[in-house]
Each structure stands twice: as structure tokens, then as C-alpha cells.
């Protein structure tokens, strides 16, 4: 059974600092990995998707890497801003027909002005 863990659970940084968020998973037989942002009481906003054959994906200030063999992904957010304050979730997509996502518990980020 796939287990996804995100450490740390919470992170506080001053504005301008780079953010490094970690995600680990137990079963390397994945189809893809998706990073989401969740604001309090809101839905999930898709940030990046990495297919299992890829090593990284970039979008603006966001960069996500994937090391499938070691069961790890890292989300980097460059030059953090107060608007980046949110909870960041990683989710691993299964190869099975349903392609269900298994989520980590999230990292709650606070960027202080």
C-alpha cells in the first residue's frame, strides 16, 4: 500500500528566502506525481505534474524534482513571497486503471514579510 509523507509539517521563512519542500513515497511503481497548493478552507490548485519518466518540471518560480528509485520528490519555490503562504500537498498517481492519487499530509508554509 502506497504511503506518502511530507516533512516538515510546517515551515516559516522570511520573504525572499527559497523554499524546499520534501515528499517521500514507499512504492516506486508510480505513474506520476502531482504537487498542489491548498489555501485554508479552499480546494486544491494544481501546480506541477511530473511523469514517472521525468526528472523535473519547472513553472515560473516553481521547480519540482523526482527521484523515483529513492521514492522522493522535492518542490523548490524561489524567492518566496507572502502570497506563497499556503499548504503544499504532494500526491502520487498509481499505475492501476483508476489512476488514483495518494496524498501526503502537506507542508504548511508561512512566508513572513
Partner 1 sequence: EPEVTQTPSHQVTQMGQEVILRCVPISNHLYFYWYRQILGQKVEFLVSFYNNEISEKSEIFDDQFSVERPDGSNFTLKIRSTKLEDSAMYFCASSEGHGVWQFFGPGTRLTVL
Residues binding partner 1 (CB under 8 A): 31-32, 34, 36, 42-46, 49, 51, 89, 91, 93, 96-106
Q: Which is nearer to partner 1, 31 or 76 (CB)?
A: 31
Element holding 38 (H helix, E strand) = strand 30-38
Find the shortest distance in angstroms from Cβ 38 to partner 1.
Answer: 9
Cis peptide before 21 (omega within 30 of 0): no
Find the shortest distance in angstroms from Cβ 44 to partner 1.
Answer: 4
Indicate the burial class of 94 (C-beta count within 10 angstroms; 0-12, 13-18, 19 or more): middle
Indicate the burial class of 66 (C-beta count within 10 angstroms; 0-12, 13-18, 19 or more): buried
Q: Which is nearer to partner 1, 95 or 112 (CB)?
A: 95
Find the shortest distance in angstroms from Cβ 79 to partner 1.
Answer: 25
Amino acid at each position: 500500500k502506497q504511503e506518502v509523507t511530507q516533512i516538515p509539517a510546517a515551515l516559516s521563512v522570511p520573504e525572499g528566502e527559497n523554499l524546499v519542500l520534501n515528499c517521500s513515497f514507499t512504492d516506486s511503481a508510480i505513474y506520476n506525481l502531482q504537487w498542489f497548493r491548498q489555501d485554508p478552507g479552499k480546494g486544491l490548485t494544481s501546480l506541477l505534474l511530473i511523469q514517472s519518466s521525468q526528472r523535473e518540471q519547472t513553472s515560473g518560480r516553481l521547480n519540482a524534482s523526482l527521484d523515483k528509485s529513492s521514492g522522493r520528490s522535492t518542490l523548490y519555490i524561489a524567492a518566496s513571497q507572502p502570497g506563497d503562504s499556503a499548504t503544499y500537498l504532494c500526491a502520487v498517481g498509481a499505475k492501476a486503471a483508476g489512476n488514483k492519487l495518494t496524498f501526503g499530509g502537506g507542508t504548511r508554509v508561512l512566508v513572513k514579510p
